[in-house]
Structure 1
Amino acid sequence: MVSLAGFTSYRVGGPAEWFVSPRTVEDLRACFAWATAEGLPLTLLGLGSNLLVSDRGLPGLVICTRHLRQTQFDEETGRLTAAAGEPIARLAWKAADRGWAGLEWAVGIPGTVGGAVAMNAGAHQACTADILVKAQLVTQAGETQELSPADLGFRYRTSILQGDTSRLVTQATFQLCPGAGAAVVTAETRACQERRHATQPYHLPSCGSVFRNPEPRTSGWLIEQTGLKGFQIGGAQVSPMHANFIVNLGNATASDVYRVIRHVQEKVSQRWDITLEPEVKIWGEF
C-alpha cells in the first residue's frame, strides 16, 4: 500500500491498495491490462490538485500520470502538444518564454494537462475548451482514441471524461498565437499569477476552488455572506482570504475537510436556497 496524502495538494488521504506511475504510454497500457486481468477497480490521478481522498484510502489500482511529460511546439501551425502529466502552469510559462499567447490564464492552475482537459479547467474568463484542438486517449482495452472539443462535451468545469475510468488522456494539442513577443506574454502571465496569489491562499494546502459558481453569484460571495469565513473543524478551515477555499492548517484529516464542505453546503442552502455543487472530486468512503 502507498499513502496518497503526498500525492494530493490537500496533503490528506489514506493509502492506495495498489499504486503505479507509468512513464510511457506503453507502460500505461500495461497497467490497464493488469488491472483488467485482476478485476481491480481503477482510479486515475494527476497532480491531485482538485481532489479529496478519504482517510480510508482507495481500493484497487491508482494510476498516477505525473511522469507522463513531453512538450512539442509546432512553429508552422502555432500548435503546442503536451503529454497528460505536464503541469498546466509549467506549460503556461513555457509558452510565455517563446512569446506564444493563449495560455496566460493557466499559470495559477495547480493541475496537469490531462486534468485540465477532463475538467475543462479555466480562470480569468478563459478555459481549456477555448484553445484545445484535440486530445489523444488510451482506453482500458489499450486502444487509442482522438477526440475533438465537440466530442468531449465541454461545459463549465466539466467534460464527458469526468469520472470516466475506462480511458485516460495521454496528450493534448492546443492552438496558441505565436509572435506576440516573449516580454509581452511573460508580463501578462506574471500578472495573472499575481492576481491569483493576491486573492487566494496559496500559502496553505488546499484543492483550489471547492465549489462551482452558481451563476450569477459566485460561491465565494455566497459563503462569505453566510458568515462562514474562518469556520473550522479540526485542522480544516474556510479560508479568511477567499471563502471558496477550504485550507489545511497543517493537521487536517480528509474527514475534517469533508465535514467543512457539508457544513458550508447546509448553511448556504438554508440562507439562499442554493445547493453548492462541489468542484473538488471526492474519492472513497466518508
Structure 2
Amino acid sequence: MNKKIFSENCNLSSYTTIKVGGVAEYFAEPKSVEELSYLIKWANLNKQRCQIIGAGSNLLINNIFIKGLVVCTKKLKSLKIEPYSGIIEAEAGVMLPTLSNSLAKNGLQGGEWAVGIPGTLGGAIFMNAGTGNLSLAKNLISVKVINNKTLEKLKIEKKDINFEYRFSSFQKNDLTIISARLHFEPNGNLEKLIQTTKNNLKLKTETQPYHQPSFGSVFKNPEKNYAAKLIDDMGLKGFKIGGAEISTMHSNFIINTSSASSKDIYKLITVIQQKVLQNKGIYLQPEVRMIGFDYPN
C-alpha cells in the first residue's frame, strides 16, 4: 500500500475530540475520493475491517489495539457554493463550522445553527446530528457514497434515506459517505446571517464546555424529556471517575479533565445510565459511537 497515505500502529487519541483512543493497526487520511476508494479496496482484498471516522466527535475509542484499518475523512474538504441557486456540493470531511460560516458569508440561510458543532458533514449526515429539531436532513438533496463491498460509487436521493432523531439509515448499511449536495435559502441578509452565526457560537461557548475535550452531547434526549435534566436530578453534575467528569456547565457533556482513560469514560456513561434507570425508569441511549467495546452501536 502507498505509505504516503497509510501508517501503522497509529495512536488515535489525537483524532477524537475527547482526546482518548487506542492504537489502530492501520490508519489513513485520504486526500481524495480515489485514495478513499483505494483504501476500502485494500481492506477488502486483505480481509481487514475498515472503520470510517470524521472529526472524532461523538466517538469513544477504547484504549486497546484496534485491529484493521481506520480511515479519517477530515482531509476530504472540497466545498463548492452556488450563491444564486443556494446549491452546495461538499465532501464528507468539510467541518460544520466551516460550512456554517461559508453559507452565511454567501447569503445562504439555514445553516447558522451548525456553527458550534465540531463535526464533519459526513459525520453529521451519518449521525443525523443537530441541535434541537434542526439537522442537515432538511437541506439535503442527495448523498454520494461508495459501496464498501462492490466499490461502486452511487448517488442516493434524500427520499431513499431514512432519517430519525440522531439516526440515519447509513448507520445500518455498508456505504461510506463521500459527499453531499444540499440546498439553502439564497438572498439572505448578509450582515444579519453573519451576526446570527456569531451569536449561535457565543451561546454554545457560554452554555457548554466548548473548549474542553468532550464528545458533545453524550445521550439522546428521551421523548418529552431532556438527558441533562435527568442527570441533574440525580445530583451528578461534577461527578468524576478518574479523569472523566460530568460537566458542571452542562450535564449531558462528559469532559476529559486530566488524562482520562476510555474505561473511565465508559464507566461514567454506565453509572449515569444505571442511576437514571433506577430512579426515573428511563434508559438513556448514548449518541456516542463506540469502537473497541462490546457495545451495540
TM-score normalized by the length of structure 1: 0.97
Paired residue type of 1:150: K
How far is 1:233 from its partner?
0.3
Tell me the CA shift for residue 45 of structure 1.
0.7
Match of 1:187 in 2: 195
Q: Is the 8 A contact 1:234 1:256 kept in 2?
A: yes
Match of 2:272 in 1: 264
C-alpha spacing 1:132/1:110, structure 2 compared with 1 (3 Å): same
- 218-227 vs 139-148, which deviates more? 139-148
Distance 1:39 1:239 in 2: 41
2:83, 2:106 within 8 Å by CA — same for their partners in 1? no
State the alpha-carbon separation in 2 of the partners of residues 143 and 184 from structure 1.
43
Q: Deviations over 1:54-82 (max 9, x none)?
A: 01142100011011011111244211111
Matched with 1:122 is 130
SS in 2 for 1:209: coil
8 A Cα contact 1:4 1:57, kept in partner: no
Taking the aligned partners of 1:68 and 1:259, their CA distance within structure 2 comes to: 34
Q: Pick one of 212, 218, 233 that aligns with 1:204.
A: 212
Q: Is 1:216 matched with 2:224?
A: yes
1:251 is matched with which residue?
A: 259
Which residue of structure 2 lines up, in the alignment, with residue 150 of structure 1?
159
Following the alignment from structure 1 to structure 2, what is the Cα–Cα distance between the partners of residues 124 and 42?
32
Give the aligned partner of residue 46 of structure 1: 54
CA offsets 1:146-171 (integer angstroms, 9 cap, x no match)? 1122212000011011254x321111
Aligned to 1:160: 169
Q: Supply the distance in 1 between the matched residues of 2:198 and 2:167 (Cα, whole angstroms).
A: 26
Offset at residue 285 of structure 1 (A): 3.0
Amino acid at match of 2:27: F
Q: Which amino acid counterpart does residue 35 of structure 2 have in structure 1?
A: D
Q: Deviations over 1:89-128 (max 9, x none)?
A: 1110011111111100100111001001111111143111
Provide the C-alpha distance between the structure 2 equivalents of 1:116 and 1:203, rounded to a whole number of angstroms. Answer: 20
Work out whether 1:19 is the aligned partner of 2:9: no
Q: State the one-letter code of the partner of 2:192.
A: V
Q: Letter of the aligned partner of 2:38 in structure 1?
A: A
Amino acid at match of 1:71: L
For residues 206-235 of structure 1, what are the alpha-carbon distances to aligned partners after superposition, in whole Å with 9 as ceiling and x for unaligned?
000000000211000000011110110000
Distance (Å, rounded) in 2 between the aligned partners of 1:261 and 1:243: 12
* Mean Cα deviation higher: 211-220 or 177-186: 177-186
Task: Give the Cα separation in 1 of the matches to 2:276 and 2:60.
Answer: 21
For residue 203 of structure 1, what is the amino acid of its counterpart? H
Structure 2 equivalent of residue 77 of structure 1:
85
Secondary structure of 1:228's aligned partner: coil
Does the 8 Å CA contact 2:84/2:187 hold for their aligned counterparts? no
Q: Alignment length, in residue pairs? A: 285
Alignment of 1:87-102 (within 5 A): 87-102=95-110
Contact 2:84 2:186 in 1 (8 A): no
Question: What is residue 108 of structure 1 aligned with on the other side?
Answer: 116
Measured on the aligned residues, the alpha-carbon RMSD in Å equals 1.2
Q: 1:47 to 1:163 in 2, by over 3 A?
A: farther
CA distance in 2, matches of 1:99, 1:75: 7
Q: Is the 8 A contact 1:99 1:184 kept in 2?
A: no
Residue 59 of structure 1 is matched in structure 2 by 67
**Runs in 1 of length 4+ with deviation above 6 angstroms?**
none
